[in-house]
């Protein structure tokens, strides 16, 4: 199934039905009076987060969603039928943006969340509504209220606890495959990963979700390579795992390149907690490993982890460090959450 994380959608709610002008015409009823019914209400357009979806591919083949209009009122005090609502079903983690692609209308982060995007128009009143002591036979009725038409964007951001960062071929997909049941494509050429992947990992009896995104290169924030189009998928993460290729002769430059792209994309993302790892240590001799570890620690200005995703050396230590940051973030969210009796 093709991965799609951005879709443009055109929606329109239904217009209300017009009220009816009608008078009773039965035999033997001398003063029949008005009996025009109201128009029905137009259908509304909703969006709902549901289980079982992980892409917006359905919205590539259908971009227009128009709710039904309400039926006009009829005589004999018959009210028109309401128009049917339309529900757009999207994956959990979908943001609803206005046409400018900046204004956030809603952020659906839980299953079952439901948001009204376009309200259906109210039906018009029939002439029965206008009957009064001074106007016994009104001959006017209201038209129905028009529906709402708008253009919106759907943007999917994967729900994950930790996000993987690094240059192409830093070993992100290998690490994800080693610690989870995810099976991303792994090869010895750049940009093997073309779409984000999710994997559930476990350590010390605890589980959390890791997101692997395509590798970044210098100038990604300006559109080079695959650009920064997938960085949104790690915005919701509690911690970022930055993998640095230990076999690279320019590993400090590699590290600074990723940090610069993070800062160019979003200062908030750059300030997230990070766990920095020197990867592929199984391919280095002890002296080279020691030298490169010191160089990376100097660039990071703090401690780093040593790991080999292929040989699974140091993997558990990295997972424990990630869990510590995730647990701290969850505890903070619980403290900030409003108290409920």
Averaged pLDDT, groups of 10, the chain, 341 residues long: 76 92 81 86 92 81 91 89 91 87 85 91 89 85 90 84 81 78 53 64 82 65 55 77 84 85 79 86 85 86 84 85 84 62 50
Q: Does the annotation place 193 within a ligand binding site?
A: yes
Q: Look up residue 262 and give its two tokens.
A: 């993070």
Q: 147 with 170, same domain?
A: no
Rounded CA separation 21/186 (Å) = 71
Rounded CA separation 295/253 (Å) = 10
Q: Does the annotation place 214 within a ligand binding site?
A: yes
Q: 179 with 116, same domain?
A: no
Q: Does the annotation place 169 within a ligand binding site?
A: yes
Q: Does the annotation place 212 within a ligand binding site?
A: yes
Q: Does the annotation place 170 within a ligand binding site?
A: yes
Q: Does the annotation place 166 within a ligand binding site?
A: yes
Q: How many domains does one find in the chain? A: 2
Q: 195 with 114, same domain?
A: no
What is the pLDDT, as a whole number, of residue 189?
Answer: 43
Q: Does the annotation place 139 within a ligand binding site?
A: no
Q: Does the annotation place 315 within a ligand binding site?
A: no
Q: Does the annotation place 308 within a ligand binding site?
A: yes
Rounded CA separation 148/13 (Å) = 5
Q: 258 with 278, same domain?
A: yes
From 200, 185, 190, 317, select the one nearest 254 (Cα to Cα): 190
Q: Does the annotation place 310 within a ligand binding site?
A: yes
What is the pLDDT, as a whole number, of residue 184?
Answer: 53
Neighbour tally for 8: CB within 10 Å: 14
Q: 230 with 269, same domain?
A: yes
Q: Does the annotation place 213 within a ligand binding site?
A: yes
What is the pLDDT, as a whole number, of residue 46?
Answer: 93
Q: Does the annotation place 194 within a ligand binding site?
A: yes
Q: 110 with 175, same domain?
A: no
Q: 79 with 220, same domain?
A: no
User: Which neighbouring-strand residues pair with 97?
Assistant: 104, 153
Rounded CA separation 275/263 (Å) = 16
Specify whether the CB–CB gap between 309 and 171 falls below 8 A. Answer: yes
Rounded CA separation 1/6 (Å) = 15
From 90, 78, 8, select the one nearest 39 (Cα to Cα): 78
Q: 39 with 128, same domain?
A: yes
Neighbour tally for 306: CB within 10 Å: 19
Kindly report the backbone phi and psi dihedral angles of residue 37, in degrees, each rounded to the nearest multiple of 5, phi listed first.
Answer: -85, 170
Q: 219 with 326, same domain?
A: yes
Spatial strand order in the sheet of 162-165: 197-203, 206-212, 162-165, 239-245, 274-279, 305-306
C-alpha R_g of the chain: 29
Neighbour tally for 340: CB within 10 Å: 4
Parallel, antiparallel, or unpaired: how do β-strands 162-165 and 239-245 relate? parallel
Q: Does the annotation place 279 within a ligand binding site?
A: yes
Last residue of a domain, one of 134, 156, 178: 156
Q: Does the annotation place 215 within a ligand binding site?
A: yes
CATH number, domain with residue 295: 3.40.50.300
Specify whether the CB–CB gap between 173 and 158 falls below 8 A. Answer: no
Instruction: Give domain status of residue 182, yes or no.
Output: yes
Calculated CA dihedral for residues 190, 194, 195, 200, nearest 10 degrees: -40
Q: 132 with 225, same domain?
A: no
Q: Does the annotation place 173 within a ligand binding site?
A: yes
Q: Does the annotation place 167 within a ligand binding site?
A: yes
Q: Does the annotation place 192 within a ligand binding site?
A: yes
Q: 106 with 129, same domain?
A: yes
What is the pLDDT, as a whole number, of residue 335?
Answer: 64
What is the pLDDT, as a whole number, of residue 332?
Answer: 78
Last residue of a domain, one of 102, 132, 156: 156
Instruction: Give domain status of residue 341, yes or no.
Output: no
Give the domain range for residue 129: 1-156
Q: 113 with 187, same domain?
A: no
Q: Does the annotation place 11 within a ligand binding site?
A: no
């Amino acid at each position: 199934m093709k991965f799609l994380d951005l879709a443009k959608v055109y929606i329109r709610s239904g217009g209300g039905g017009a009220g009816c002008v009608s008078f009773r015409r039965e035999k033997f009823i001398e003063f029949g009076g008005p009996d025009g019914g109201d128009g029905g209400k137009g259908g509304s357009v909703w969006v709902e987060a549901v289980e079982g979806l992980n892409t917006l591919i359905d919205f590539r083949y259908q971009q227009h969603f128009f709710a039904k209009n309400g039926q006009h009122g009829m005589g004999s005090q018959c009210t028109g039928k309401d128009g049917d609502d339309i529900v757009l079903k999207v994956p959990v983690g979908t943001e609803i943006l206005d046409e400018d692609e900046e204004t956030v209308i809603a952020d659906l982060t839980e299953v079952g969340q439901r948001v009204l995007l376009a309200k259906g128009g109210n039906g018009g009143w029939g002439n029965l509504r206008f009957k009064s002591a001074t106007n016994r036979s009104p001959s006017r009725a209201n038209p129905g209220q028009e529906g709402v038409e708008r253009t919106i964007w759907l943007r999917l951001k994967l729900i994950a606890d930790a996000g993987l960062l690094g240059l192409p071929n830093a070993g992100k997909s290998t690490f994800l495959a080693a610690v989870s049941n995810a099976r991303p494509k792994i090869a010895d050429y750049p940009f093997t990963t073309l779409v984000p992947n999710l994997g559930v990992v476990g350590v010390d009896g605890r589980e959390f979700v890791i997101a692997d995104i395509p590798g970044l290169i210098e100038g990604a924030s300006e559109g080079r390579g695959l650009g920064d189009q997938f960085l949104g998928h790690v915005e919701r993460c509690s911690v970022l795992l930055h993998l640095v290729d230990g076999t690279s002769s320019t590993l400090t430059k590699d590290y600074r390149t990723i940090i610069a792209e993070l800062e160019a994309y979003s200062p908030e993302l750059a300030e997230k907690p990070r766990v920095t790892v020197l990867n592929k240590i199984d391919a280095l001799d002890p002296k080279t490993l020691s030298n490169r570890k010191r160089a990376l620690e100097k660039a990071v200005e703090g401690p780093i982890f040593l790991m080999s995703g292929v040989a699974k050396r140091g993997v558990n230590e990295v997972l424990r460090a990630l869990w510590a940051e995730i647990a701290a973030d969850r505890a903070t969210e619980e403290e900030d959450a409003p108290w409920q009796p």
